[in-house]
Amino acid sequence: MTQQSDSERLSSFVLGLYGEDPYAHVYRASEEHREAHGSECEVYPSSPLSMRLVSLLIRATAAKRILEIGCGLGYSALHLAAAADPDGSVDTIDRFPEHVSLALENVSAAGFSQRIRILQGEGDNVLPTLSGSYDLVYDDGWFVQEPAYLETMLDLIRPGGLLVMSNWFPLQDAVLGHSDVDWSGFSDPDWADRIQAYARKLAAHPQISISFVLRPWLGLAVKTA
């Protein structure tokens, strides 16, 4: 039997308090898909702990118009849509056509076809085509370094709207200077400087006020201007 780490035991206990994850099957399918798709695949489904917190933020702010960058197979998009008002909607983007078609199946099976719109393409290209403003943006596309779409993404958030960024966990390795994983494969040898530079840039950005949550790792920002 595999020994669970302290962190895994804690997460299991807390997740157990919340009851069954209605989209656990999509989480599992995402993990299986990544193994089959090959090394270019980046479908790492969001942590269920993060989705619980983001869902609470959606409910607390009554967010209706939600944008996600990085759809994968739709695990997080389903949570975002389920937490939003019944007349709320989620636009979500993924670069791989095979992710889009699998996500469409998952979204349809969950009965959310009318409320989740999946757009295929690069975030850098798709974001400038979107209009209006969003109550909440969930950025699950960036990794280790500042995405080229940062300013376009910020422009799409309404004043008072929220930006939620997953994937901040390598910041711990960057700051502490040791890591079990070589994150340079996702960026370059300067990845540790790049992720810290991105954190500093966001903290000083005049359009947002940010707070980093260390467990589950999230960057939460409210648009101030």
Give the footprint of Zn ion on this chain (CB under 5 A). 37, 41, 43
DSSP-derived 3-state class of residue 175 = helix
d(CA 189, CA 174): 12
Segment holding 194, helix H or strand E: helix 191-204
- Answer whether 64's CB lies under 8 Å from 88's CB: yes
160 vs 201, which CB is nearer to ligand SAM?
A: 201
169 binds, among Zn ion, ligand SAM, none (CB under 5 to 8 A by kind): none
Residue with tokens 């076809």: 113
117 vs 209, which CB is nearer to ligand SAM?
A: 117
Q: Which residues does 71 contact at the CB level (< 8 Å), separation at least 6?
A: 77, 92, 93, 94, 99, 100, 103, 118
What minimum distance in Å lies between the beta carbon of 141 and ligand SAM? 3
Cβ burial of 46 (10 Å; 0-12, 13-18, 19+) is buried
Q: Which residues bind ligand SAM (CB under 6 A)?
A: 30, 42-46, 70-72, 75-76, 93-96, 99, 122-123, 140-141
What minimum distance in Å lies between the beta carbon of 100 and Zn ion? 11
Helices 97-109 & 24-37 angle (0-180, nearest 10): 160
162 binds, among ligand SAM, Zn ion, none (CB under 5 to 8 A by kind): none
What minimum distance in Å lies between the beta carbon of 183 and Zn ion? 20
65 vs 95, which CB is nearer to ligand SAM?
A: 95
41 vs 210, which CB is nearer to Zn ion?
A: 41
140 binds, among ligand SAM, Zn ion, none (CB under 5 to 8 A by kind): ligand SAM
What minimum distance in Å lies between the beta carbon of 148 and ligand SAM? 8
69 vs 154, which CB is nearer to Zn ion?
A: 69
What minimum distance in Å lies between the beta carbon of 171 and Zn ion? 25
d(CA 112, CA 56): 19
26 vs 174, which CB is nearer to Zn ion?
A: 26
72: left (phi over 0), alpha (psi -120 to 50) or beta: left
44 binds, among Zn ion, ligand SAM, none (CB under 5 to 8 A by kind): ligand SAM
**Distances in whole angstroms, Cα of residue 66 to Cα of each of 24, 175, 189:** 21, 32, 34
What minimum distance in Å lies between the beta carbon of 106 and ligand SAM? 10
